Every structure is written in C-alpha cells, then in structure tokens.
Amino acid sequence: MFSGFESRTVTGDPADRSSVFVRHGGQGPPVLLLHGHPRTSATWHRVAPQLVRHGYTVVCPDLRGYGRSRGPEPTADHTGYSKRAVAKDMLAVMRSLGHHRFRVVGHDRGSYVALRLALDHPEAVAQVTLIDCLPISEHLSRITARFATRWWHWFFFAQPDIPERVINADPDSWYHGDPRSMGQENHDEWRAAVRNPQVVRAMLEDYRAGLTLDRQHEEDDRQAGVRLRCPTQILWSLQDDLEDLYGDPLRIWRDWAPDLRGHGIDSGHHVAEQAPDALVASLAAFFATGA
C-alpha cells in the first residue's frame, strides 16, 4: 500500500499527549483525506495513489485516537474528541507539512471533521468534499423510529462503559472486515487497530462528542449564520441509506453551503474501497473547478 508515500507521527499538544500518524506523498496542490469509523488512513489505499497520478500531494492521517494516532485521556465532557479538537489536529498536520491552504475530503466520521475544519478555518480550506454525510444536528433534528432503528449504533456508542465491554469481548465479531474487499494490508491494519482497547475507547468518544459538543457547535453555527465559504461537493453511496432516509441530500445541504454540487455513487458505504475509480473521477472533476 501507498508505494512512494512517506509516513511520520506529528506530535500534538504536550498537555494532552496527543499525536497523529500520517501518510503523505505526491507533488502538487495538497489534498487532505479523512477516513471514517472504524477505518484508518489505510482505507484510502486505492484512492490516494490515483490522486497523486492526477498531480496532487495527498495527506492521509489517522484521526485522533484511531489507528496509530493517540488522543488525550477521555473526560466526562468529551472535549478532547470533539470535531473541533480533531480539526485542530488536522490543521497542525497540514501546517507541519508546509500546507497552509488545501482541499479536504472526509468520509463518515471524517466528514464531520472536514465540515468542522471548513467552518472553523475557512482561510485554510480551498474546497471540501463530504461523503455519506449530513450535519449531525440535521440528523438529530429529523429523528424517526426508522432512523433510530437503522442508526442505533450512534446511541449505543454514546452509552458509558457498556459498548467498550461488548466490543472488546470479541472485536472480530463486532466489526466484520473482509480482506477481499478491503485489500489484505488495509484489513490487517484495521484489524490490529480495532483489537486495541485504547483505540476502541477513542472511537466511542468520537460518537459521545458527536451527540453532545459537536451537535451544539453546529447549532451555534446555524444560529450565528455561519456557513461554508468554500466550494462544497456532497457525495453519497447509492447502496447505503442516506438518500433512502432523506431523499436528495443536497436539499438539506443548501442551508449550509451556498456553492454546492454533488451526486450519488454506485457503491456501498465504504466507497474508497468499493468504488475508488468513480470516487477519484468525482474528486478530480471537482478539484479542477477550483484550479
């Protein structure tokens, strides 16, 4: 995986002993790729090299606490795992590599980090692509029995202690990774991560912050009239349930992004692994509009 890429660990705030593992490679305009739950940066192994061939510098970090990145000890208010905190990690990573303005692509939980990064640091984000994403507050304002049944894991993961005990008892059974679809090296890296109780705790803190601090930050932004300033692309997996639950996701996103476009991709949820060529084509076409 990631032939020609370098890897390093970027140390964060000494006070919280955080660090970010990152892969990076290529030459040209920088692109930051942010993975989702429960993946690591290795999920981009079929996408990142193609973007390099398209002429981009590609940066793939493990999110705070995921994979080989480490976050602070969890606290009762979940501050250390808020998307605001993780977005600051990503900004620090890009600056450490010499990139002060860049494109961002986020999938699943990484899309919430990408959204927060673009909202909080508009001077740094030239374009943003969000995959399989609605703002957390938009999901929660539309809760139905159907949503709660399909997305029950959001509310289970938010419970104290119980999900750790359930998942760590047999992580291989909880997370169903397939080395044939994921790629063997990606699968092996992911499997090592989810078998680490420290990683599992951090991933759950991500969700706990989501239903509390992250929701509040989004609602504060809406009340203050804060919107995305950069060109925004929304992509969604047609074999997943976002469109099934809400219809056209762009209808909801228009309240957040004045410069908006997007479409569905014929894929399951893990589009970077299952439909990398279609994803790269969409990204390259969108990036070209900002050249």
- Per-residue pLDDT reduced to its tens digit, 96-126: 999 999 999 999 999 999 999 999 999 999 9
Task: Give every CB contact of residue 132 below 8 A, 6+ residues apart in sequence.
Answer: 36, 107, 108, 111, 235, 236, 237, 240, 242, 269, 271
DSSP 72: P
Mean pLDDT of 244-259: 96
pLDDT, tens only, 44-78: 999 999 999 999 999 999 999 999 999 999 999 99
Produce one character per residue of 48-81: b if its CB has 16 or more CB atoms within 10 Å, e if not: bbbbbebebbbbbbbbbbbbbbbbbebeeebbbb
Q: What is the pLDDT of residue 14?
A: 74
CATH assignment at residue 148: 3.40.50.1820
Q: Strand, coil or helix: what is 165? A: helix
Residue 91 has pLDDT above 90, yes or no: yes
Q: What is the pLDDT of residue 18?
A: 87
1 in a structural domain:
no
210 in a structural domain:
yes
Pair of tokens at residue 245:
């639950």
230 in a structural domain:
yes
151 in a structural domain:
yes
Q: What is the pLDDT of residue 204?
A: 98
Q: Distances from the Cα of 183 to the Cαs of 26, 34, 186, 192, 263, in angstroms?
A: 22, 18, 5, 14, 26
Mean pLDDT of 259-274: 97
* Beta carbons of 27 and 59 less than 8 angstroms apart: no
219 in a structural domain:
yes
Confidence class for position 290, pLDDT limits 50, 70, 90: confident
User: How many structural domains compose the chain?
Assistant: 1
Q: Where in 133-291 does DSSP place strands (E)?
A: 232-237, 260-265
Confidence class for position 17, pLDDT limits 50, 70, 90: confident
17 against 243, higher pLDDT: 243
54 in a structural domain:
yes
Mean pLDDT of 230-239: 98
DSSP 235: E
Q: What is the pLDDT of residue 291?
A: 61
Q: What is the pLDDT of residue 57?
A: 98
Q: What is the pLDDT of residue 220?
A: 98
181 in a structural domain:
yes
Instruction: Tell me whether residue 120 is one of the annotated catalytic residues.
Output: no
Q: Which of 89, 108, 214, 240 is catalytic?
A: 108
Mean pLDDT of 23-37: 98
Q: Tell me how far apart the alpha carbons of residues 61 and 185 are, in angstroms, rounded to a whole number.
A: 16
pTM reported for the whole predicted model: 0.97
Q: Tell me how far apart the alpha carbons of residues 5 and 168 are, in angstroms, rounded to a whole number.
A: 32
Q: What domain range includes position 31? A: 6-288
Confidence class for position 15, pLDDT limits 50, 70, 90: confident
185 in a structural domain:
yes
Q: Which of 16, 120, 188, 269 is catalytic?
A: 269
Q: What is the pLDDT of residue 50?
A: 98
Return mean pLDDT, the chain. 96
Pair of tokens at residue 137:
């507050």
Instruction: Tell me whether residue 153 is one of the annotated catalytic residues.
Output: no
